[in-house]
Chains A and B, each alone.
Chain A
Amino acid sequence: DTAVSQTPKYLVTQMGNDKSIKCEQNLGHDTMYWYKQDSKKFLKIMFSYNNKELIINETVPNRFSPKSPDKAHLNLHINSLELGDSAVYFCASSLKQGGMNTEAFFGQGTRLTVV
């Protein structure tokens, strides 16, 4: 049983295209996240949603738009893809906002390559 699943696992696309990455968690968690891991392996938070409400929006170009149709899903849509968007994107979730329940569980990542 996959706890946090992302699709697709690999995505190769041309500059200028629009693409989406989907994320689903079956853990019953309230909070979901998108992180970006660059070529130097640094993980940086992009967005966080709690019960479908946006609570963290880091300095991310507005070409990136998260959408949470329900608390089990957090999708990431990227418009007008650029070469610099190439990275591994990780979805994560945690039960609640506080206490031990902030332990984060990650998906397997989506490797996006923009050519």
Chain B
Amino acid sequence: GDSVTQMEGPVTLSEEAFLTINCTYTATGYPSLFWYVQYPGEGLQLLLKATKADDKGSNKGFEATYRKETTSFHLEKGSVQVSDSAVYFCALTPNSGNTPLVFGKGTRLSVIA
């Protein structure tokens, strides 16, 4: 079935460091891809999305590009801040319509000043 694999954490970075969190997927057809962020004690919030190959999603300085040839959707940020400390989830919907999101296991990021 459809699945998402993320790099395992935790990831610890110093403030202003470059961030990459790897995400690869297995799906039939053309899924939509998402990154969600979960701050401590809160629910999940959509960070960015991409719905077709070569689309780039971006928000709050984070970017991810939908790479069909490598089935990847890696999350990047050029300069992280302490406030970016959170758990990041990569997710997909197998196809358009009302189908449930399939999540990776999450990657915890800690940014230290």
A, B assembled together: no
Q: Interface residues, chain B, CB within 8 Å of chain A?
A: none
